[in-house]
Amino acid sequence: MDLREALLAEHSRAQKNIIADYVGDSKELFMALWKVIKSGEEPLPQRAVWALEECVSRHPGLFDHIMEEAITLLPGGHHDAFYRNITKILSQREIPEKYQGILFDLAIDWMLDPAKAVAIKAHCMTLAFNIAMPIPELREELAIVLKDQMEFNSAGFSSRGRKILKSLEKLNRGITNS
């Protein structure tokens, strides 16, 4: 299968799954898909990153090969599909300590950015929460940001925000009651 042709053939969930089936757990094919994301012309990167997210959901270890590079590319100017899918992947993984600070700050910045899509903000909330769980000061900062932003954002943002605030409150009660 030619990945570029497959990505251009159709933009659908079925096509995304066909591509993910083809890539399977092959590091070589996964890296070829990653190359399309980094260097392809629109609409290839946004379609490829959707397929990449599906590959990672099936074979999480594949992301280890690109995690560092993906994190360094996050602040750059990319299509929302890149941000949405990479933040989704990161929100579902344990983040190595050396990346926690930069990702927490980026997640907070994007939650505060009125131009960022709700799905990106939602994944950023989860990512920031996962990083903040063991650190009371970060939990406090996240709670302040969520409370501040809930009135200015969509129902989707507020819904995820309420769930995370509830989890933060439980964590804080657990620590203060020990």
> What CA–CA distance (Å, rounded) separates 62 from 59?
6
CA distances from 81 to 46, 64, 84, 147 (A): 5, 20, 5, 27
pTM of the model as a whole: 0.90
Nearest Cα to 74, choosing from 92, 59, 90?
Answer: 90
Going by pLDDT thresholds of 50, 70 and 90, the confidence category of residue 173 is: confident
Position 106 pLDDT exceeds 60: yes
pLDDT score at 42 = 86
Going by pLDDT thresholds of 50, 70 and 90, the confidence category of residue 174 is: confident
Mean pLDDT of 27-44: 92
Per-position b or e across 73-101, b if 16+ CB within 10 A of its CB: ebeeebeebbbbbbbbbbbbeebeeebbe
Residue 16 in tokens: 């995304």
Going by pLDDT thresholds of 50, 70 and 90, the confidence category of residue 178 is: very low
